[in-house]
Amino acid sequence: MVSETITVQGETATAAPAARPARVEDRIVIARKLVKTYDTGEVEVPALRGLNVDIKKGEMVAIMGPSGCGKTTLLNCLSGIDDFSSGEVWIAGQRLSKLSDNQKTDFRAMKMGFIFQNYNLLPVLRCAENVELPLLVRGVDPKEARRKALAAMTAVGLEKEPMKKPAELSGGQQQRVAIARALVNEPDIVFADEPTGNLDSETSREVVQLMKRLHREKGLTFIIVTHDSAVGNQTQRVIMMRNGVILKSFQPPRT
């Protein structure tokens, strides 16, 4: 089988063959021969071992596997939060290795939203202030930032809670605020790292259904790291990892 050649913004890389290759223009995430090694000073610990990843625009994908298999490391390398040791990543046609740290920060602010297990809300700010913060950092006019923040909170069902502080909300509501913050800059991709990890099963289902609705209505690409098969089974595709490699990629059964 002939290996696949990728051309993105005038740059070409040769990658391992894929079973069902998609056109470059259909893919928002491309990773080739991705390696991440942590050097403790005494020993090198391989976290990612030459991964190839393709994610289509508008796809909802779960990355699953046991603790320590490299799920979060992969998410961090794909989003440019962490540098990778070798290989290459393209996001929306942009080659990450060609960006400086400041450029990657700006690129994330423009193209990506993030949802974390621990919500990462600032407790001293009201919910609307937490949601609008990414826009204010980018220099958006405060009135426009507030308008967009309130619209994002309405989209996640919290239109009555903008002036409350996070401590006044339940865990599920706090995660909804975090989702609103991830959406407020109208990103191309939302990265979610164990978004239901701190929630009970019923609240987890509600949060997953919310993400599915937003995915369907807004056409967003969701990349969700999770250990919970109940979450993975609600996505369009599951990437299963173990020991820094991808074991398989499959469509979960529909229930």
Give me the number of domains the chain comprises: 1
Query: Is residue 164 a part of any domain in this protein?
Result: yes
3-class secondary structure, 221: strand
Query: Is residue 157 a part of any domain in this protein?
Result: yes
Query: Is residue 90 a part of any domain in this protein?
Result: yes
Residue 182 pLDDT exceeds 50: yes
- Please compute the mean of the pLDDT values over residues 152-166 and round it to a whole number: 93
CA dist., res. 73 & res. 82, Å (int): 8
Question: pLDDT at position 24, please?
Answer: 61
Q: What is the CATH number of the domain that holds 246?
A: 3.40.50.300
Domain that holds residue 64: 4-250
To the nearest whole number, what is the mean pLDDT of the chain? 89
CA dist., res. 180 & res. 158, Å (int): 9
Query: Is residue 45 a part of any domain in this protein?
Result: yes
The pair phi, psi for residue 49, each rounded to 5°, is -120, 70
pTM recorded for the entire structure: 0.86
Query: Is residue 224 a part of any domain in this protein?
Result: yes
Question: pLDDT at position 237, please?
Answer: 97
Give the single-character DSSP code of 166.
G
Query: Is residue 255 a part of any domain in this protein?
Result: no
Residue 151 pLDDT exceeds 60: yes
Who contacts 210 (Cβ-Cβ below 8 Å, separation ≥6)?
Answer: 156, 157, 176, 179
Question: pLDDT at position 138, please?
Answer: 87
Percent of the chain with pLDDT over 70: 90
Query: Is residue 238 a part of any domain in this protein?
Result: yes
Greater confidence, 19 or 165?
A: 165
